[in-house]
Amino acid sequence: MAKKKTSQDNHDEDDGPTVVELPVQFYFPEGLPTPYANQCVVQSTGHEVILWFFEVSPPAFPNMSHAERKKSLENLGHVRGNYVSKVAMTKEKFLEVATIIAKTANAIDTVSTVEKTR
């Protein structure tokens, strides 16, 4: 997905703009945390798409019977989704990323199907 980044600077009238394509080298710092998200909200503003990621964990009810836990959950009213990350991108970039995710999901599904038949 990483494409070469085009860099433009001021240009001379005669030569036109200076355009140089350079590869992007991704840097991942040591110890970079990997937050867990199991919920995603997608919002479109027309020109961009915003992805909001959240982690929803079931509440803990230690030392309760099944009936007590069920009653507590029914009285809870909602569970909290804790903010993990927000990613905003152009509509065009979102469609590119969505295509890559779909291809990867299909490849994973194909591998899973092959492994199940072994």
Written as one string, the DSSP assignment of 63-83 is T--HHHHHHHHHHH----EEE
Please give the pLDDT value at position 13: 61
Contacts 24+ apart (CB under 8 A), 26-29: 26/2
- The pTM (predicted TM-score) of the whole model is 0.68
Residues of the chain scoring pLDDT < 70: 1-14, 112-118
Residue 17: predicted pLDDT? 84
* Alpha-carbon gap, residue 30 to 43, rounded angstroms: 32
The residue extents of the domains of the chain are 35-111
User: Looking at residue 118, what is its pLDDT?
Assistant: 64
- 89 close to 97: Cβ distance less than 8 angstroms: yes
SS3 state of residue 102: helix
